[in-house]
Amino acid sequence: MEIEVLEGIFDANEIIAGENREILDRHGVFMVNLMASPGAGKTSLILKTLEGVGGGLSCAVIEGDIAGKVDSERIAEQGVPAIQINTGGSCHLEAKQVNTALKRMELEQVDLLIVENVGNLVCPAEFKLGEDLKVMILSVAEGHDKPLKYPLMFSESHVLIINKIDLIPHTDFDMESLKETVRKMNPAVEIFEVSCRTGEGLSAWTGWLKGRVETSK
Amino acid sequence: MEIEVLEGIFDANEIIAGENREILDRHGVFMVNLMASPGAGKTSLILKTLEGVGGGLSCAVIEGDIAGKVDSERIAEQGVPAIQINTGGSCHLEAKQVNTALKRMELEQVDLLIVENVGNLVCPAEFKLGEDLKVMILSVAEGHDKPLKYPLMFSESHVLIINKIDLIPHTDFDMESLKETVRKMNPAVEIFEVSCRTGEGLSAWTGWLKGRVETSK
């Protein structure tokens, strides 16, 4: 009974995700669905990514949060269009919320749209939004044992960004063990090691992303 | 329509949480519902808590995860009875899962039962399990801005444990700002600052918890 309800939700979501995909294709927009635990560095990575891909690409951001608008304000301060979605309690974004946001944006002027999902390593992985790329962040402080505990997120993501690598000397984080586990679950995953705080590793990520956006045109 | 479905789920959960409460009272068990983001240090805190309250209190643990059993194995290695609940995809524990676990435990021998919820700062706060105490952990690495983004968890918890304080010198974490925000949302909250890695602050937490368990008898 419960499963039927959930299937209904997933089916409806899939249909609207398809509609989002058509809207994005029509306007030549590349959409990234950015997912991570609370505090892994989603907003910081977005700010650094906007800086890094700046020249030549026009960007916009959709911010998903349970409540508040601190994140979209931080983005808008950089002069980048940002729309805030407050889920009002729900622990993930769904395609219909993104659909509403897309219809309010001037998409003909956007090359790269980054959607910051709600901070959660579980449910966001289950709901397609119509994105080109699922990107997840794992913070070094969360530990290298997370893939086995949150398998769907690690196996669904096209890109894994390991953030806060400046903290490695102060933790028991085992980078090789993490990568080995993730690659077994998801052999095609692209992995980047970065620190949004020191800037280390960011140009490899933003250069790669820029290439993906440009070749999708 | 969607709201009705959710209300149904919450009502059913509430009834079973009440049943759990009766079972715990009948056996004189004090139950802690421990919640946090992935990687904030739930299992580490449990291990340190078991050590700290050791003398005189008999403990048991229920481990909630989407998948895997690494955590319950770590607990069992300490000689403490541990039951693993795998939610199979669900991002939080519900009372009925705890109910099933309670019925399989030898509760007459337990004083303190710690339930490690699924790593998630959102939904676990919505589902009562029949606990005496809701305890949440925030890791320093997650940042001091989390209360405004995940308000229900911070306002529902009886205890906030700020973990990984050894990382403060390597981050931009503002302890005073965090405490001020949390106390505005939840004036009665007990706050402990700890590092499970260095051991700092843990005796204040375990001493307080031991007192709570003993006075509940």
Which residues are registered as beta bridge partners of A116?
A34, A63
Structure tokens at A196: 């949004």
Interface probe for A, chosen from B90, B121, B200 (most Cβ of A below 10 Å), is B121
State which residue of chain B sits closest to A8, comparing Cα positions: B2
Determine the 3-state secondary structure of A84 from DSSP: strand
Structure tokens at B159: 């205890």
Output the pTM of the full model. 0.91
| A78 φ, ψ (degrees, to nearest 5) | -85, 5
Pick left, alpha or beta for residue A138 (phi over 0 → left; psi -120 to 50 → alpha; otherwise beta): beta
CA atoms within 13 A of residue A27's CA, in its CB half-sphere: 20
Cβ within 8 Å, pair B139-A39: yes
- What domains sit in chain A, N to C, each tagged with a CATH number? 11-216 (3.40.50.300)
Identify all chain A residues contacting B88, using CB atoms and an 8 Å cutoff. Answer: none
Relative orientation angle of helices A42-53 and A202-215, to the nearest 10 degrees: 70
* CA distance linking residue B64 with residue B85, whole number of Å: 5
CA distance, residue B203 to nearest chain A CA (Å): 22
At position A135, the amino acid (one-letter code) is V
Whether the CB-CB separation of A89 and A101 falls below 8 Å is answered with no
Point out the least confidently predicted range of A76-80, B32-36, B53-57: B53-57
Residue pLDDT, tens place only, A198-212: 999 999 999 999 999
Interface probe for B, chosen from A2, A42, A66 (most Cβ of B below 10 Å), is A66
Identify all chain B residues contacting A123, using CB atoms and an 8 Å cutoff. Answer: 91, 123
CA distance, residue B108 to nearest chain A CA (Å): 31
Query: Mean per-residue pLDDT for B102-111?
Result: 95
Label residue B2 by pLDDT band (50, 70, 90): very low
* CA distance linking residue A26 with residue A129, whole number of Å: 16
CA distance, residue B120 to nearest chain A CA (Å): 6
What pLDDT is stored for residue A88 in this prediction? 85
Give chain A's mean pLDDT. 93
Burial A90-109 (b: 16+ CB within 10 A, else e): bbbbbbbbbbebbeebebee
- Name the nearest CA neighbour of A186 among A161, A135, A216, A152: A152
Residue pLDDT, tens place only, A5-17: 445 566 889 999 9
pLDDT beyond 60 at B167: yes
Q: Is the dihedral of CA B15, B16, B22, B25 positive or negative?
A: negative
pLDDT beyond 80 at A176: yes
* CA distance linking residue B97 with residue B154, whole number of Å: 24
Which residues of A fall below an 8 Å CB-CB distance to B?
Answer: 5, 37-40, 65-68, 70-71, 89-91, 118-123, 126, 139-143, 145-146, 148-152, 164, 166-167, 170-172, 197
Query: Mean per-residue pLDDT for A88-98?
Result: 93
Question: In this complex, which of B38, B139, B146 lies closest to A146 when CB atoms are compared?
Answer: B38
In angstroms, what is the C-alpha Rg of chain B? 17
> DSSP readout, B115-147?
EE--S-SSGGGG---S-SEEEEEEEGGG-TTHH
CA distance, residue B69 to nearest chain A CA (Å): 8
Cβ within 8 Å, pair A120-B70: no
Whether the CB-CB separation of B189 and B158 falls below 8 Å is answered with yes
The residue assigned the tokens 């608008």 is A69
* CA distance linking residue A210 with residue A215, whole number of Å: 9
What pLDDT is stored for residue B161 in this prediction? 98
Label residue A3 by pLDDT band (50, 70, 90): very low
Query: Mean per-residue pLDDT for A118-131?
Result: 96
Question: In this complex, which of B67, B91, B167 lies closest to A141 when CB atoms are compared?
Answer: B167
Identify all chain A residues contacting B145, using CB atoms and an 8 Å cutoff. Answer: 70
